[in-house]
Every structure is written in structure tokens, then in C-alpha cells.
Amino acid sequence: MSGPGAVARAGAEVPTAAAGASDGLREVLFVGNNWDGTADAVTSRGALARVGRVDVIPDKDQRLAEIALNPVKLAYFLGVRLGPGEGHDQFVDDMYTTPDGSALVVSRPSFADVVSVDLASGRLNWRFPVDGYRSDHMALSPDGTRVVVSASTANTVQVLDIATGRLLGSFAAGDKPHENLYTAGGRQIWNMSIGEVTTALDAPWLDWTKGDRHITVVDADTFRTVRTIDMRPRLDAFGRSDLSNAVRPAVFSPDGGTLYFQVSFFNGFVEYDVANDRVTRVKTLPKNPATSEDRTTWVNDSRHHGLSMSPDGSRLCVAGTMDDYATVVDRASLQEGPLVPASKPYWATVSGDGKSCIISESGADRVTAIDFATGLPTSGVDVGDHPQRVRLGHVPAGWTGPAAG
């Protein structure tokens, strides 16, 4: 993440030691509590502790009234609830703070928008309705001035000015654009489209029903497509035609030369050589014997969903979502460490000091730190309902939440 206290490199969040100490800001981890519409700020290094909370749906009544009066919006709103929301409304998917730490910018799937929430008052600074009827994963530019958001039902990715919410540009993607990453020092944006993940057509022979799934690489200034990458022929060439080509969470190596990514329905991850355009290794991780093999029971076609890398590039941290564990994997050997029990871990990121992997346990409403060196858990803290995305950010020193009223 860019802005005070962090340096963006190859699409990864790579913290520095400064932690915003010289500019009146405090580095924190923001945790998006998807089902209750809040975001918790927790300490970014050392033992995890909650710093403050912000309501990211202060306009909820207004939005619900608008949706109720529009039959098409209402149909999609209920579709989000019954599909990806697992019976719940999705109020916060992703979030980043502005470089000055004054606001939190949030994508809200059920409201099909992106908003900027003032961290001092809790009021909205701006609101941007995305194309279509659902907003999804975002990415922050290395200089902290732009946010990229997937407008999933419109098969479009939109780029906004983080200060004003003004649309700066957009580009077409595959079906259901999902993960976004800035790469090449911020010169490129990679978007991963995952196709239809809420249908029950999950048998391998019905894979063709999932739609057009590919990576779209664009120039970050012109938004023109540089290349598209369909992992289907690359996986086939590696001898893994059994794997889905729906690229889910992904992370680049520090030099940007290698991409690691998870795919739908798979308990493991794939290694991809960017320059030579080929899959080089596939890591299969253990299955939990208690996990049903009925693929229709896996959340949004995910078996594992959440991937991060230590700043030195030596270790990967994997959230084994449906298998209820997380583990640290040695990047050279691909040998996994201890399987750390976790309740439906949904994301993995890196602590501010780079020493720990931070996972969100969406089934336990908790975030947990796992030491990269030992692979063992070190601390955890309770957060709101169904935590998913976790992002490094900054708040004013002394901030504990918006002022009352």
C-alpha cells in the first residue's frame, strides 16, 4: 500500500519501518466486516488489539429506500443476499485509507457503489455508483491517489480519484471481474475475472457454463489493454486440465517476475512465470477430512481464498477457507508448515512490520496473526460480523473512531 509508511512494489503491500510516525499518522490494519457494515481498525504490528470502529453505511436507510423503489435494483440486491452474501447483505467488500489518513474508501457490494467515509465525523465525503449492480475488490495505486474497483455485474473495471470519487477511466474485463493488482511500479493494472460463481453448476463437466475467465492487463494511465492471459491453455500445458482457470486471490513476488494465485475449487495454489508466460509449479495443500466434497457447498466456488507473501519473498501465507486452516508455505520448497486451525479464513495480508501474516476468520468474527518464521499463531482479536478484506492503512494519531453525533 502506498502513502505514509509503505512502499508499493510489484503489486504487493510492502511496509516500511516508519509507520507514519513523523506525519501525525498511525499505521493500522482495517478489517471490513461485510455483514454488519462496519470496519475495525486494529494494531498493525505486535499483539493485535482493536483501535476503533467506523460505520461504513451511515446512509443505509436512504440506499434501501432507493432500492425498494427500483424493481431491477431490488432484484439484484436480493440476488447478492441470496448468492455471494450467503443469506446476508454485503456492506463492505474492500477498503483503503486516503494518503492523509482522513478518510476510508469502501466498496459496498449490496449498494453497488464506492464511498469515502470521513474518519473524523463518520459522514460520507462522496459516493460513486459503479456500473451495473455490484461492486467488488479494489486496489490502491502506489501513490495512493487512485482506487480501482471491479464492477462485477457490468464486466467492467473503473478507476476513481480517491479524493473526489471522480471517474478517471475504465476498461472491459472478462465475466465477473474480481481481484485487482497494481504492478510494474504502478504502470500496469492486472484484473482477474472469475466468471459465474453463485450457480450450482459446479460439476467439472459444467465448467463451460462459468463464462469468460481471464486476466486483463492494462496500462495504468491510458487504461488500454496490454495483454490478456487465459490460464486454461497454460494449465493444460502443465498437465493440470483438472484445475479451473478462474484466478482468485493472487500475489506477485517482490521482483514482479512470479505470480502466485488460487483458483476456484482447489485446495492449493499455482505458480506462474510472468516473463516466460507459463505455469511452473502447482502446490496441492492438505484437505480437511471434515470438509464436504460437494462443491456446491463451497462459498462462491472457493475452496481456498486468501494469499499473501512475506516482504522478503521467502514465504507464502495461505487461507484454506473451506478447510478451516491457514498455513505458511516455504516458497523455495513449497513445503507447508503447521496447519493453523481457523474458522473459514477468508483473506490473508501482511502485518505492518512484515513479520506476520494476518488472516480474517470470517466464521469466528476474528482476525489472527501467524508468524512467518514459525508458522504459528501469535495473537488475535475479535472484530465485527463476517470479516473479509484486511488492508494496511493510516488514521490520525490518537484516533479511536468518529466523534459522536
Closest CA to 354 of 323, 321, 324, 309: 309
CB neighbour burial string for 20-30, b if at least 16 within 10 angstroms, e if fewer: beeeebbbbbb
Q: Cell for 181?
A: 493488482
Q: Kindly state whether residue 402 falls inside one of the protein's structural domains.
A: no
If one counts the domains in the chain, the total is: 1
pLDDT tens column, 246-263 = 999 999 999 999 999 999
Under a CB-based contact definition with an 8 Å cutoff, are residues 7 and 350 in contact? Answer: no
Share of the chain above pLDDT 90, in %: 88
Q: What's the pTM value of the predicted model, to 2 decimals?
A: 0.93
The H-or-E segment that residue 139 falls in is strand 135-140
Closest CA to 147 of 138, 156, 155, 157: 138
pLDDT on residue 20: 42
pLDDT tens column, 281-329 = 999 999 999 999 999 999 888 999 999 999 999 999 999 999 999 999 9
The rounded Cα 23 to chain-centroid distance in angstroms is 28
Report how far apart, in Å, the C-alpha atoms of 209 and of each of 12, 241, 300, 331 are.
Answer: 32, 16, 15, 34
Least confident span in 12-16, 150-154, 206-210, 218-222: 12-16
| Residue position matching grid coordinates 516473463 | 275
pLDDT tens column, 21-77 = 447 999 999 999 999 999 999 999 999 999 999 999 999 999 999 999 999 999 999
Under a CB-based contact definition with an 8 Å cutoff, are residues 339 and 345 in contact? Answer: no
Range of the domain at 376: 6-394
**pLDDT band with cut points at 50, 70 and 90 for residue 200:** confident
DSSP structural state of residue 173: -
Under a CB-based contact definition with an 8 Å cutoff, are residues 175 and 213 in contact? Answer: yes
DSSP string, 220-271: TTT--EEEEE-HHHHHHHTT-TTS---EEEEEE-TTSSEEEEEETT-SEEEE
Q: Is it the case that residue 235 has pLDDT exceeding 70?
A: yes
**pLDDT band with cut points at 50, 70 and 90 for residue 5:** very low
Average of per-residue pLDDT values in the chain: 93
Q: Kindly state whether residue 399 falls inside one of the protein's structural domains.
A: no
Give CB contacts under 8 A, 24+ apart, made by 225-233.
225/171, 225/172, 226/188, 229/277, 231/263, 231/270, 231/272, 231/279
Q: Kindly state whether residue 87 falls inside one of the protein's structural domains.
A: yes
**pLDDT band with cut points at 50, 70 and 90 for residue 404:** low
One-letter amino acid at 312 equals D
Q: Kindly state whether residue 403 falls inside one of the protein's structural domains.
A: no
Interstrand relation of 113-118 and 103-108 (parallel, antiparallel or unpaired): antiparallel
pLDDT on residue 104: 98
CATH for 230: 2.130.10.10
pLDDT on residue 21: 43
Q: Kindly state whether residue 324 falls inside one of the protein's structural domains.
A: yes
Residue 165 phi/psi, 5° resolution? Answer: 80, 10
